[in-house]
Amino acid sequence: MLAQKQAEEAIVSNDHEGKEEHLQENDEENTSMFNVKNFLWHGGSVWDAWFSCASNQVAQVLLTLPYSFSQLGLLSGILLQIFYGIVGSWTAYLISVLYMEYRSRKEKENVNFKNHVIQWFEVLDGLLGPYWKALGLAFNCTFLLFGSVIQLIACASNIYYINDNLDKRTWTYIFGACCATTVFIPSFHNYRIWSFLGLGMTTYTAWYLTIAAAVHGQDEGVTHTAPTKLVLYFTGATNILYTFGGHAVTVEIMHAMWKPQKFKYIYLYATLYVFTLTIPSATSVYWAFGDELLNHSNAFSLLPKNGWRDAAVILMLIHQFITFGFACTPLYFVWEKVIGMHDTKSICLRALARLPVVIPIWFLAIIFPFFGPINSAVGALLVSFTVYIIPSLAHMLTYRKASARQNAAEKPPFFLRSWTAMYVINSFIVVWVLVIGFGFGGWASMTNFVRQVDTFGLFAKCYQCKPPKPPLAAAAPPHH
């Protein structure tokens, strides 16, 4: 208990000093009582972290959940959302515990993190060694890379429903250039207003989907036959696994907090709010359109075009820009550390150094423009390890020795109070996700993904677009 108390005091002291330095800098810049820049730009509170987690968890995936329900069926869709939401919250808790353990050990060595953002692979390196660092770096970076790709695809898919004069590939070029401007946002401290607005946008979109589908009513002859095929069932399941696996940026969000030890249950509270968005919207749209969703991975494509839908599309576009920044910022940090630019204070120099990260994301979005299937593939092959398996294994290995458990910076949560129970839960998550998520989910999602490539081809100009209108029939020749 003494070691835990000392570690917490060291971290609190360090964070307090950091906050004081930050406030002092602001006072020097602006001595007014109310600093607008500080209010909008610099965030490190518990509420900032909650908004970041909730905003980052649901973006374009909100539009693909009805598609997943058409593969899974209503009951499985709701139950799997609740299950993966709880499991995702647990592994986010594990990541926060490991971060605190790593940071407390470094604080004892008088390491200063003033100009350094701690990342997940560094936590693994400090606690378990270089092999785990390489594993965490590979999975996390690849997941964030494809997470950014998905945001670009989603932008092009959504704007097409407002303006179909340009094909989706052309829209991807345009939004790739727009999203590249995220290189100017220094860190997660600076997402305060964006996180707040982002959550408001997804809240509007979710309730628009719910109400619009209810007002539209059921299509004539609508059918709800799911689940029908194992391939479709496990594809839908892995999309939901992906939905609640948005905490590849947990460590960066924690590090941006003034008191990161308060993060423990923030992700759970964020998930509970997200349930109020995802379950009603997916249920309502699936009820209205049923099996027709199997060929429409974006829910916008089936809802009538009007001002409410256009507003939802525009808000989701803005939110996807924000989510692109969320996914890309950790990649920017990694790249800066590789090229030795992480300590540079000039925003313009750092932005220039970050640009090479955006180019491959742009290119991949043009090669694989498959909106729903790529979500499932990323969920099965990357999220399963990054978000569920690696944190569970890392926690078990970090505290495998009695001395490590005795001197742990964070003890088991109040509702368990047992290291054995934690090991049981972690072991269950590893086995479940490895077999169901990675095994069956990987087989199903890759089968579906390859089918999309065979059907539409790489570099598809307009994936799941309406077929072009046939040319007007030529005038009939005069009758003699």
Chunked in runs of 10, what are the mean pLDDT values of the chain (480 residues)? 49 47 40 48 76 81 89 94 94 93 87 79 92 91 84 79 76 81 72 80 94 93 89 88 78 83 88 94 95 87 89 87 82 86 80 86 77 71 90 95 90 87 95 93 84 63 57 47
Q: Position of tokens 């742990």?
A: 408
Prediction pTM value: 0.81
Distance between CA 461 and CA 444 in Å, rounded? 25
Distance between CA 118 and CA 103 in Å, rounded? 9
Q: Are 134 and 293 in contact (CB under 8 A)?
A: no
What confidence score (pLDDT) does residue 275 get?
95
Torsion on CA atoms 238, 134, 333, 106, rounded to nearest 10: 110
H/E segment holding residue 383: none
What confidence score (pLDDT) does residue 264 get?
85
Give the C-alpha distances (Å, rounded to integers) separating 337 from 14, 358, 423: 23, 16, 34
* Beta strands per DSSP E along 201-347: none
The candidate with the shortest Cα–Cα distance to 343, out of 117, 120, 185, is 117
What CATH code would you report for 53-456? 1.10.4160
The candidate with the shortest Cα–Cα distance to 121, out of 434, 422, 391, 399, is 391
What confidence score (pLDDT) does residue 145 get?
85
Distance between CA 156 and CA 368 in Å, rounded? 12
Long-range interactions of 338-344: CB distance < 8 A, separation 24+: 342/115, 342/116, 342/117, 343/115, 343/116
In this structure, what token pair is assigned to residue 26? Answer: 């602001």
Environment class of residue 226 by beta-carbon count within 10 Å: exposed (0-12), middle (13-18) or buried (19+)? buried
* Range list of H helices, 293-386: 307-339, 347-367, 371-378
Sequence-ordered list of residues with C-beta below 8 angstroms from that of 469, at least 6 positions apart, any chain: none
